[in-house]
Amino acid sequence: MWFVKGRISGSVSSLTATGARVAGYKARAMSRRQDLILSQSRELGALAGGGWLVDESLFRFLVDFEIQKAQRLRYSVALVCFAVEAASTGNGQASPSSLAESVTRYLRGTDAVTVWTQGWLALLLIDAETAHLPLILDRLTARLETVVWSAGGSCYPRTAARSEDMVRQAVDLMGRAKEEGGNRLYVAS
């Protein structure tokens, strides 16, 4: 009987040791995977303060990906297109890319920013609804007191069901805000 007990306890201790080794392997693999993801994201964009500054193609992918995820998990995704008049960049905001870098500092770590090829910014705001956009933009534009800006916003699922529709709505509303004199945000309804 003693032999059986010893054998069982030996099996349990070897299982415990094996479990610890497996847990260690998993932890190291997870750490390597996280390092790989961070290094790839640093190549594609830069983490600056809060939000992520990414290129346009990655931004389009993120919008589409977040909408698909939001459909499953039932949360909101907002998109804001934001333009600054080139002649009015008197507070040191020399280029759209430097403006994008400064904007990312005031966003959450889940949000993303890109500089569109036309020179305006696009902001992807996770778990933000149309009611939140004026407050978020007030916080961002408070540092741009001498700058003339125009913005348009859209939101999944409230105003658009697809990423292309969100971008189109936000761009159209940004153009409307620009035509009407700037320093305003229009949100799709």
The answer to whether the CB of 166 falls within 8 A of the CB of 146 is no
Q: Does one domain contain both 65 and 143?
A: yes
Partners of 81 in the β-ladder:
122, 152
- What pLDDT is recorded for position 3? 47
Q: Does one domain contain both 30 and 70?
A: no
Q: Does one domain contain both 28 and 78?
A: no
Residue range(s) defining the domain that contains residue 179:
52-187
Q: Does one domain contain both 176 and 140?
A: yes
Contacts of 92 (CB under 8 A, 6+ apart): 98
Query: What's the predicted TM-score (pTM) here?
Result: 0.69
Closest CA to 173 of 162, 185, 181: 185
Residue 112, domain CATH: 3.30.70.270
Q: Does one domain contain both 33 and 57?
A: no
Asked whether the CA dihedral 24, 25, 27, 28 is positive or negative, the reply is: positive
- What pLDDT is recorded for position 60? 93
What is the count of structural domains for the chain?
2
- What pLDDT is recorded for position 140? 85
Q: How many Å apart are CA 165 and CA 77, to the nearest integer?
A: 13
- What pLDDT is recorded for position 1? 44
- What pLDDT is recorded for position 151? 94
Mean pLDDT by 10 residues, the chain (189 residues): 46 51 54 52 48 90 93 94 71 69 85 91 93 90 79 94 94 95 90
Q: Does one domain contain both 98 and 23?
A: no
Q: Does one domain contain both 36 and 59?
A: no
Contacts of 157 (CB under 8 A, 6+ apart): 70, 71, 76
